[in-house]
Amino acid sequence: MAENEDGQERTEDPTPKKQQEAREKGQIPRSRELGGVAVMIFGAAGLLMSGDMLYNTAHQVFSMNYDLSRAELLNPDVMMVSLVASAKKAFLALIPFYIALLLAATMIPPMVGGLNFSSKALMPKLSKLNPLQGLKKMFSAQSLMEVLKSIAKFALVATAAILILESNRERFMTLGFLPPNEAMAEGISIVAWAFFLLSCTLLVVAAIDVPFQLYQHNKQLKMTKQEVKDEYKDTEGKPEVKGKQRSKQREFAQSRMMAAVPDADVVITNPTHYAVALKYDPQKMLAPILVAKGADHVALQIRKVALANDVMILNSPPLARSIFYHTELEREIPQGLFLAVAQVLAYVYQLQQFQQGKGSNPGGVPEFPVPEDLRRDP
């Protein structure tokens, strides 16, 4: 198990912050084997796709240069023109091959670790000149893995090469009996397919190397329990600081809630333990909304604000408790309380009309119906 300088074991998986810091330093998982195999396979595929073009180009270049007369061979200007023309034909014929290599080199390696550019990785590090660090790397698991990969690659390539040579023995033997044009085309085909098959054998090494590199990268970034705690304190803040922040947030939310009480249509109380303030605008709302609620001291403050702003206060303990426990702040009341709240609003309207001398006295506060599943015992 890996340990840090204090002797603590690194048993914890790296946090997102630790992983991001590693990426900024250029520490990302990379598989050299995957990149190398990809370049070889794509290159071989490029040769196979452009085989006919390569043959035709080679035939044209040979014909063009073998047809030169003795006088032209002794003329530097003619030879320079021939050289440029031959190079141009060869370059154009190899464009598919170059494109295949470019795609392999740019698209495959980022599949492990993703794209990343870090200026910090370009900065020189004096620690890399430390001979002790170099000795540690020589005898590390990474070095052992590199040795095993080299042995495996040699064994695979040697075995595949022997099998390919054996399976193409007759084709090799017949090349000397074919006309030059056919022999050249056949030779290019044999070489391209042999290159492709040899490259594919190295996929076995890449398939082992990729998980190993991911494992090694994660192992190098592992953290101790103390490091995780320290990072949590740095990112989330100390408990006492977070407590003060939560207290301020509660104070802010409470002050905003109290500011909404004067606009409420009614405040329903327990009468001393709970208080909820409701507002309903049929033009803007589908159902009444809870704009304020509180218990004990907060309930007392809601009642004081309501009295100071002439907001109707009704005493209905079952309904007050039900709304308090089953409705979130600034949310619509539950559907099961629609009837009870509708009766509350109707009663408030009738009472206001009576106080203005425009209607009869609705009497005392009635008992509003609260469904059994929404009741909350005191």
- The pLDDT assigned to 43 comes to 80
CA distance 193 to 374: 77
Are 99 and 210 found together in one domain?
yes
* Domain presence at residue 11: no
Residue 344: CATH number of its domain: 3.40.1690.10
* Domain presence at residue 67: no
**pLDDT confidence band for 203 (50 / 70 / 90):** confident
**Where would I find the H helices in 15-94?**
16-24, 32-49, 51-66, 70-73, 76-93
pLDDT in tens, 304-336: 998 889 888 888 888 889 988 888 888 898 888
Computed over every residue of the chain, the mean pLDDT equals 79
For residue 137, the tally of other CB atoms under 10 A from its CB is: 11
Q: What are phi and psi of 164, to 5 degrees?
A: -65, -45
CA distance 317 to 225: 51
Are 22 and 163 found together in one domain?
yes
**Integer Rg of the chain from CA:** 41
Number of structural domains, the chain? 2
Mean pLDDT of the region 57-65? 79
* Domain presence at residue 55: no
Are 139 and 196 found together in one domain?
yes
* Domain presence at residue 175: yes
Mean pLDDT of the region 102-120? 70
pTM: predicted TM-score of the whole model, two decimal places = 0.46
pLDDT beyond 70 at 129: no
pLDDT exceeding 90 applies to what percent of the chain? 2
**pLDDT confidence band for 245 (50 / 70 / 90):** low
pLDDT in tens, 338-368: 898 888 888 888 888 888 888 788 788 888 8
pLDDT beyond 80 at 211: yes
Are 118 and 153 found together in one domain?
yes
Which tokens go with 246? 């939560």
Mean pLDDT of the region 84-95? 84
- The pLDDT assigned to 240 comes to 60
Least trusted range by pLDDT, from 11-25, 149-163, 319-333: 11-25
* Domain presence at residue 203: yes
- The pLDDT assigned to 118 comes to 56
Structural domain of residue 136, as residue ranges?
16-50+94-233
pLDDT beyond 60 at 127: no
- CA dihedral angle for residue 194, residue 198, residue 203, residue 208, rounded to 10 degrees: 170
- The pLDDT assigned to 153 comes to 79
* Domain presence at residue 147: yes
